[in-house]
Structure formats: structure tokens, C-alpha cells
Amino acid sequence: MSLHRTALLLIDPLNDFIAEGGKLWPYSREVAEELHLLDNLRRLASAARECGTLVVYVPHRRHVRGDFDDWRNVNPTHERARTLLPFERGTWGAEFHAELAPRAGDVVVGEHWFQDGFANTDLEHALRVRGVDRVLVAGMRTNTCVEATGRRAVELGHHVTLVKDATAAFRWEEWRATIETNAPTFAHAVRSTADVVQALAQPEFGA
């Protein structure tokens, strides 16, 4: 399987999620640090670029105060966001982590409002026009945006590999629910960063 038919999806590598001082970092810290999340995300992105695999950034909506004021059905996550204001547009917390910033040749797609990186964005178009049908899914947060995007990718016909130690959640129970219980029911593979980096180094990558 050609490397040029594979893309690494980096979901929400934003300061508020994964950087010291981020609004959501206190919730993510324990799982992220034990998994070495940041190191693994850097390794994945570097390995992908070195072998010519497309790196695609799938960012969360950068919120503006009042975003949900006239919504008829505000879900619990958005209700909490009204108070905490994560990823507030124009702030440091809404920026990509400095060590995971997009580089020349990477693709940044439109912002998703909730969990599915394909919903109301150009992600599927960005993949299809480049002939991509295999995706490596990593980033934040395991049981929300990572799982939702992985599930949708399968529904759209993509081969999906979840990189289990390159995604973190607020609690271990959440991480395990996706990686150990849910992912094996929809993902084609659940692999470690080390395994994926090794596979990317091969002339032909088969996840």
C-alpha cells in the first residue's frame, strides 16, 4: 500500500489541550504524561513527513463568546464550554502547540464544532482529492474527537489505524473504553507509535 495513499490525522493538537497552562491540560495531564503523548505526536509527525506521508491537521472550533447562545439544543460539552471557554479564538490556548505546528506541505482543514472531524468540514474532500484512503488517527481527545473521527472515516471507506499512545483522555477509564473496547469494533488496527513509525520507514506501508 503506497505511503502516498496514507495520511496522518492530527486531531486538536491545541495548547488548551496539551500544553502546560492550557485550560484543559489539568484534566489531560495524568494520561498524557504517562503515555508520553507529546513525544509520540512529534515522532509520528516527523516520521510521516520524512517518508512523504501527508500530515493533516483537524482542528477544533476556535470558540467565540456567545457561540451557543441561540442554539436550541446545547449538548453538555458545549454547555461546559460556555463557562470554561476552551480554544477561545485569538488566544494562545486556541493555537497549535508550538512543537506540533503545521509545516510546508501539511494540510489544515476546517474546524469541527463538536467531535467528528469530518462533520461540516472539508476533511473528506482534502483526503479524496489527494487519493488518500488510509488514515492514522492521533491527537485529542481519545473518547471524543479521536473516536468520532475514526468511526466516520470507516463509514466513508477509509482504512483506519488508531495510534493508541498518541492520544489521551481526561481519565484512564475514557481512554480504555475507546482503545480496549470500542476501537477493536471499528478500527482496522490499533497500534503503538513505535509500531507505526517502524512501518512508515518501510518502502510499502501496510497498517
**The pLDDT value given to residue 202:** 84
199: helix, strand or coil: helix
Give the number of C-alpha atoms closer than 13 A to the C-alpha of residue 37, restricted to the C-beta side: 28
Q: Is 66 left (phi over 0), alpha (psi -120 to 50) or beta?
A: left
Q: Enumerate domains of the chain plus CATH numbers.
A: 3-200 (3.40.50.850)
**The pLDDT value given to residue 83:** 87
Tell me the three cell numbers of residue 193: 507509535
83: helix, strand or coil: helix
**The pLDDT value given to residue 80:** 87
Give the number of C-alpha atoms closer than 13 A to the C-alpha of residue 143, restricted to the C-beta side: 15
**The pLDDT value given to residue 205:** 54
Per DSSP bridges, beta strands 6-11 and 134-140 are: parallel
Q: Could you report the average pLDDT of every consecutive run of 10 residues in the chain (207 residues)?
A: 79 98 98 98 97 97 91 90 92 98 98 97 98 97 98 98 98 98 98 97 63
User: Greatest CA separation found in the chain?
Assistant: 52
Q: Which of 81, 153, 90 is nearest to 113 (CA)?
A: 81
